[in-house]
Structure 1
């Protein structure tokens, strides 16, 4: 199961976000708290900072090997800082059909859009579903697709459906995307559990989506995700929340993801993650299945909006 971490707030050393904390993203690739599998299929990040030579563009890094074996980490990470970050460690099946290459490491970024994307999810049978979905994809994005992952194809489809970059327009594009996927599944008789746990990020915004459908293509999926761990692991992972932490003074906690908890309107930083990253998990807001969360930098503070996604 992939791991995702997105951050927005004051400029911070990347090592405070990726390597120093005990439950850092890189450590999760070797020893995730909530999942038993290693993430060996690569990792990457996209970062914005006013201190970069091109502050309006994300600095992108990908490496198609286990994050904890990446010999570039000690040389690169300590020299960088970021005010917005999207990072990802990739899990995949360990067989000859899995292509481990830079092109398949998240996050994905295309020219002509401010958004980059990473996912902790899966679209089964996506190559066959393309028979129905390609007609909704714009050539300007298809021409930039270089890898062989479902996430990059979903990125193409989502960007093609976006009519603008407002929260309402992004929400509508995600709803339309799942509707088209479900239509294609029905037409091709390919209904399958589909997990869309997506982070969509630009320099001043993080959008987290926890959405999808069940084994028969149903979107009104319910259940106790923790109890389902023993009886239906895929359904459990579909229903599992994503998590958001809001607070102040994150820069004062160099070796952890702790923050000073404060009223929502006073928060200066936010993290979106696959799992709560601090011992006090009660400080983390759950992004439940069927919802979308919008985190936006407004001056020195971070606003948060949560909406239900319509099936």
Structure 2
């Protein structure tokens, strides 16, 4: 129910990644090419980015559509970063919370986004929510499914799980409690990008000049974009991408990855 993108690589303006590409996240807010659910992502947007020497990202979020925000257009032109996470939102359910419901969510060095929807929300996740400390539930930033999924991921991160395990275990837990959920999760700490595919599209681009882009859909027609199979965990750095199949909690086998899909290095020669 949204489109999102993460980048780690050489520093460049936000606009070069989000606005300037012919099919960038800016355009995907009204004309996505690969979105399976919903057609317009006008229920808010956000971008989080990292400044040199500061591990805690800055965020800019708004409740309205990205195309209506002239301040963001100006910001994106001049702010440079070597890592970011951005999203445009198509709300699962209309409601309050305004920009608090817009990704990216943040804690410490982490930025997080959820593309999808929890089936049967909110009742389906009531038993799962009960596993969180009451204080964490009371301090949720927004009252939507993505905010609760983020709380589940964050609890695992704070307990010592690495990013890949935290996303994997959360996806499997939520999918078991709420079958038919779509759980494409995206997480970055400013150095690495971790993501899942679970019911929606995800692509990555290892850029020859350095840097990795992970996005709901390609922002241009570069033939080197690669689609990530469904039920997959992606872990990426500025130079490498690894894909690992995820097991459906219902017992269904994850799609097999070809030998060239399991590991990709952006430093390899490209034709």
Shorter-chain TM-score bucket reads 0.7 to 0.9
**Comparing both structures, which one devotes a greater share of its residues to helix?**
1
Q: What stretches of structure 1 of length at least 5 have no aligned partner? A: 186-191, 212-237, 250-267
Report what 1:180 is aligned to.
Answer: 173
Inter-partner Cα distance in structure 1 for 2:150 and 2:221: 33
> Does structure 2 conserve the Cα–Cα contact (< 8 Å) formed by 1:141 and 1:159?
no
Report what 1:65 is aligned to.
Answer: 64
Report what 1:261 is aligned to.
Answer: none
Deviates more, 1:7-16 or 1:170-179: 170-179
Rg bigger for which structure? 1
Change (3 A) 1:87 1:182: closer
Inter-partner Cα distance in structure 1 for 2:31 and 2:201: 19
How far has the Cα of 1:55 moved from its partner? 1.7
| CA deviation profile, 1:154-209 (whole Å, cap 9, x unmatched) | 0101222334253xxx3333343234334534xxxxxx411001111111011111
- Look up the SS of the partner of 1:21 in the other structure: coil
Tell whether 2:265 aligns with 1:278.
no
CA RMSD of aligned residues (A): 2.1
How far has the Cα of 1:23 moved from its partner? 1.2
How far has the Cα of 1:287 moved from its partner? 1.2
- Look up the SS of the partner of 2:70 in the other structure: coil
Tell whether 2:196 aligns with 1:196.
no
Report what 2:251 is aligned to.
Answer: none
Report what 1:104 is aligned to.
Answer: 101
Inter-partner Cα distance in structure 2 for 1:165 and 1:12: 31
- Look up the SS of the partner of 1:271 in the other structure: strand
> Does structure 1 conserve the Cα–Cα contact (< 8 Å) formed by 2:233 and 2:243?
yes
> Does structure 1 conserve the Cα–Cα contact (< 8 Å) formed by 2:104 and 2:111?
yes
Number of residue pairs the alignment of both structures matches: 245
Inter-partner Cα distance in structure 2 for 1:100 and 1:139: 20
> Does structure 2 conserve the Cα–Cα contact (< 8 Å) formed by 1:26 and 1:67?
yes
- Look up the SS of the partner of 2:116 in the other structure: coil
> Does structure 2 conserve the Cα–Cα contact (< 8 Å) formed by 1:38 and 1:91?
yes
Report what 2:25 is aligned to.
Answer: 25
> Does structure 1 conserve the Cα–Cα contact (< 8 Å) formed by 2:109 and 2:189?
yes
- Look up the SS of the partner of 1:120 in the other structure: strand
Change (3 A) 1:247 1:183: closer
> Does structure 1 conserve the Cα–Cα contact (< 8 Å) formed by 2:44 and 2:62?
yes
Report what 2:240 is aligned to.
Answer: 303
Superposed, 1:1-311 pairs within 5 Å as 1-35=1-35, 37-50=39-52, 55-92=54-91, 97-99=94-96, 101-110=98-107, 113-139=108-134, 141-162=136-157, 163-166=159-162, 170-185=163-178, 192-211=179-198, 238=199, 240-249=200-209, 268-280=210-222, 282-297=223-238, 302-311=239-248
- Look up the SS of the partner of 1:172 in the other structure: helix
Change (3 A) 1:182 1:120: closer
Change (3 A) 1:140 1:55: farther
TM-score, normalization: structure 1? 0.72
| CA deviation profile, 1:128-150 (whole Å, cap 9, x unmatched) | 13431123224564343121221
Inter-partner Cα distance in structure 2 for 1:180 and 1:8: 28
TM-score, normalization: structure 2? 0.82
